[in-house]
Amino acid sequence: MRIDPSLAETLRIVAEQGTLEAAARHLHMTPSAVSQRLKPLEQQLGQRLLVRAKPVRLTAPGEVVVRFARGQSLLEQEASAALGLDAQGERRASASP
């Protein structure tokens, strides 16, 4: 089983924003689209990851997936910095080729 990092990132944003609506604004999509991104992740893992309340609450498996997403984000930031890339993946002006 492989956890899709982009779907895990969506769950992280929902958890941090507190509601599907706030996460949708952050992600520039509709709340329905955010919910539709979470469904395949829950189906793939065979576990409920989120209690859809206001504010949302992560289940224990949801906490694991959010921890995974945060770790992925840190690894990406470290790799970008080591490669001389900015947050958008562009080479920083001061980085040497």
Q: What are the E-state strand segments in 52-93?
A: 57-58
Instruction: Convert the pLDDT of each residue in 20-30 to its tens digit.
Output: 999 999 999 99
Per-residue confidence (pLDDT) for residue 65, from 0 to 100: 98
Per-residue confidence (pLDDT) for residue 17, from 0 to 100: 97
Q: State the Cα torsion 87-74-62-23 to the nearest 10°.
A: -20
pTM: 0.82
Let me know the angle formed at the C-alpha of 30 by 24 and 36, rounded to the nearest 5 degrees.
95
Q: Could you tell me what percentage of the chain is helix, strand and coil, using 3-state DSSP and rounding each to the nearest 5?
A: 60, 5, 35
Instruction: Convert the pLDDT of each residue in 45-80 to its tens digit.
Output: 999 999 999 999 999 999 999 999 999 999 999 998
